[in-house]
Structures are given as structure tokens and as C-alpha cells.
Structure 1
């Protein structure tokens, strides 16, 4: 058996201005299809494609369909409170398909900022989100500059650091496996959404601020309609407030369009699909379609066709982009 994780996050249309308001519910249909070149045995599969229980965006309805239909499915919570579907098969398969349908209310929230998970976490539970990686010269210099920012509002201070990262790192789609460490992202001055989010997390942890990695959907309007992508961002824990979301690609706080699926201390802990399978050649098809309430037209948000899984032995065979 080999390990395969599908962690294909992409965000090709991240905004850098305040996102336009969406006042009606939106239904997302997200299909993930694996096709194998021969019948294979799949080991236990873990799917993290259900909105987090503390996701600030109201989820009106949710359903997940899996094929082949003769499978065994159990829902569990991991150590970070994420929903995980554990799926097993009793026979060999040529295809493995996951279809998620959810309806989200994207109308702006009143009162508290929608980016915040307004449930403070007890201090002992924050320890997992405070351990940084070793810092090189680029990261040490950046942390020193970030630490020199002083404001009365802790959220404003973190927002300023978030803008620093968005300004100094150019977004790039990166389909290769893994997440760059903070030193590499700063040295290259570019990176994917997951790279800049991980940089923000490392900066905050070196400053003694708990921070975690988040995977989810990003739904937002653009010139061609409404788009959706799998995306990655960061959350920081602010005392007496809770977890607050920061999109390091846009340099803004997260909005109702950021639908959190999983949050954890490290990126590999939030892969949308992970599990074991026989060595094989495989292709991956991903598509997302949005349906607006009260409208018959559909907006195709994102599609990846026939992406070959390069090496089934690679635990990150499909990269977060």
C-alpha cells in the first residue's frame, strides 16, 4: 500500500480589495473523481470536506455522496474538532468519487465580525498552535519588524502583519507537493496561498501568538461572475475574542465567503482527502459549480481535468496551489 493525500488547494482569483457583498444563499457542488489504470485496493480513506462546526458562515444544508456506493462510512472528530469521514471498501475499485453539495448563507453578518470564531480556547489547548519552526535570517528579520508594530487593538496589529505578507509575497499557483517553509517563501518573495499562510503562522508563533492552518472553500464575485476554489488561510487566537481569520493572499481578514473545512496545527493535517492505495497510475478530476438562489444560471468556478497523480508513493501527490 502507498500513501496518497489529495491536498489540491488553489486560489486563482483572490481579491485584494474589500470583496463585493453577496446577499443570497449559494449552493456549491464540488466533485472529486479519481480514476485508476487498473483495479486497486483502497485502504481507509479520510475525507475532510465538511464545514467545521465553528465555521462562522451559516451552512443551510450539507450532503456528501461517495461512489462506489458499497462502502462503509463513519463520521468522527479529530483532535482539532474537524469533521472527518472515514471510508473503507471491501473490494477493488477502478474509480473513487466524492460529491459534496452544500448551501451557504453569504449575507453579511451583523454585530460581530464574521471572520471571528467567537469561542475563546482554554490556554492549555493552545499549546499545539504555538510551536514555531527554526528561524533563518529572512524570518528573524521579518519577525523583528512585525514585533515592532504597536497598536492598542491586537486584531489591527495582526492585520498589519497580514498586509505585510500580502504586499511582499507575490501569489503564484503552485501544483507541486508540499508547503514551503517560511525562509523559502521570504527568500523567493512569492508563494501559493498555503505558503503565505504558513509564513504568517510561523511569524505569529515566533511572537508567542497561537496560530493555525485552515483549509476551506473561497466563494467570491469577480468580473466574470462568482468563483469558488479550494483555498488555504490562517487563523490567530486573540484573547477574549477567539480565532480570527486572515487571508494572506489578499491581505484582508476572512469573510463569509471563506468556508472553513478543517483547521489544525500543520498543513498536512487538513488535507481534503488522504489514505492508502495500491501503487498505480491515476488521474484526478475536480470540478466546482455554483447555483445562486433565485437564479437558473450556474457559474462554473474551477475545474481541473485529468491531472495525473505523479507518484502514488508521494504523500503529497497532488499539491495545494
Structure 2
């Protein structure tokens, strides 16, 4: 059974005075490796006095650079997409023989290719303690990933954090609570301390309700780990589950700042943000 979904996302920024905006980068188009089949997609920005240049960054993400032609008191971005979601088994993948048991070592050439995804930037007593506990989870690779995902899920409670940026791994562990992006970055760093290439992912999380033809959709963040033979495997530490058909990646990067849905600056102002996310579906 598959679902045909219609997703709508709008974010509006209101400024307390006319301001000029720097060129803005929007990472709001589904990535090529998304499990969802994208049937249609539209991207609309207001005010109309702007130019849009679609590009791909070094990680292969689709990005829209928007250059604005005048000052403004409001800027908004609107996304509409129709997609087909087909439930899949998240464990239905092959693993190369040498990587069937964790920990394992990448061959030299593969390790060179994955170098940006092995960079360790976070250190600290709490992080070292968590990595030591993770090392004790050794075993077959699938069980290891399941147990590691659950370990971080149980360690960090979820909260909605409106402040910008991503906390360091040590800060997240000290707090014992964090936003999805904080848990995702913690998971990336733990995996890298274990010698496994990983990347930060931002995207939409679509959840289908059983009745009524509606569901929920939110901007979300999770981690992906590179397993030889299987490729990039999504791990969602916020739920303790593997990424599924409802995880629609928008941007993947070695660093969180290069996967943010929107980046850009304004002149001095006080701004407020309003957003709307909706999704409807029908069974096909």
C-alpha cells in the first residue's frame, strides 16, 4: 500500500522596519536519494522583486540562491510538493563482507573519499564516556546500529528549541535534552569517534495518520552513516528508529551549517517568524 501525499510548507519573516537582505540560500528541495518519489514540486518566494538561481553544492544538494532587489518588511518562502510514499523495510540492504561486524575499517581509498565525513570536532568527558559505552555494543553491524540509535534516544530527551544553531555534543549531554538537530549532531560525532563516516541531514518528517486523510509534517534532522554495500543509512535518534519513507531529506552535509533549510542575513531589525506545515494524503 502506497500513499500519495500533498505537502505544503510556508515560512514568513516579518521585520519591524524596511531592511535589505543578503543573498539567501534555500535548501528546501528533496535530495536525489530520497526514498519518496517526487511527482511535482514548486518553490515560491515573496516579494516578487528577486532572482532565483538553482544550483547544486559540493555535497550534491539542490539549493536555490535568491538575490533580492529592494528593501522589504516581509519575506516568505512557500513550498508545495506531491510525492508517493511506499512503506519499505529499513533493514533491507546488503553489507559488504568485511563490514558485517562492527567496528570495521574502511579500505584506504574508501576512507580517503569519506574523509570529510570522518572529521571529529567535538570532545569532552561526557562524550568520551558515551563513546566508550557505544564501543561495548560491538556485534553484527545492523544490531550495533540499532543499539547505538537506542542508546542516544534514551540518553537525550526531545525538546523544541527555538534558538538558532546546533549545540555541541558535550552541551547536549550536559543538558540531557535537545532539539532533533542537537541529537543528530551528537550521533554524527559518536559515529565518527567510532571510525564510521556519518553526515548531518535536514529534511521533512511526514507522519501519516490512520484515518482522515491527513497527517503531520515538520522540518526535522537526523544522521546518516555510511555502511559499505548498503550506502548511506538514516538513523533518527529523536525516535530511536531507522529513517523510513516518511523521512524526506532536503540537504546532507558533513557539517550542520551547510544543511540548514535557510541561511542569509538582514540589516539591523527585530524579526518574527510564522510558519505553516500541512500534509494530506490518499491511499493508492
Partner of 2:102: none
CA contact (8 A) 1:27 1:293 kept: no
Partner of 2:73: 94
> How many residues are aligned here?
269
**Aligned ranges 1:62-73 → 2 under 5 Å:** 62-73=41-52
Matched, 1:156 2:135: no
Shift of 1:26: 0.6
Shift of 1:214: 0.4
Cα distance between partner residues in 2 of 1:110 and 1:185: 31
Cα distance between partner residues in 2 of 1:176 and 1:72: 29
Matched, 1:258 2:247: yes
Root mean square deviation of aligned Cα:
2.4
Cα distance between partner residues in 1 of 2:239 and 2:88: 20
Match among 139, 161, 170 for residue 174 of structure 1: 161
After superposing the two structures, state which structure 1 stretch, 171-180 or 247-256, moved more: 171-180
Cα distance between partner residues in 1 of 2:139 and 2:29: 36
Partner of 1:135: 123
The superposition leaves residues 149-204 of structure 1 with CA deviations (integer Å, 9 ceiling, x where unpaired) of 2222x232112101011112111121122222112222222211111111111111
Match among 231, 234, 242 for residue 242 of structure 1: 231
Matched, 1:229 2:218: yes
CA contact (8 A) 2:215 2:280 kept: no
- TM-score by length of structure 1 reads 0.78
Unaligned runs of 5+ in 2: 96-108
Partner of 1:58: 37
Shift of 1:70: 2.5
Shift of 1:207: 0.8
CA contact (8 A) 2:122 2:170 kept: no
CA contact (8 A) 2:122 2:169 kept: no
Cα distance between partner residues in 1 of 2:165 and 2:14: 23
Unaligned runs of 5+ in 1: 1-21, 296-321
Shift of 1:133: 2.1
Shift of 1:100: 0.4
Cα distance between partner residues in 2 of 1:243 and 1:195: 20
Choose between structure 1 and 2: higher helix proportion. Answer: 2
Partner of 1:315: none
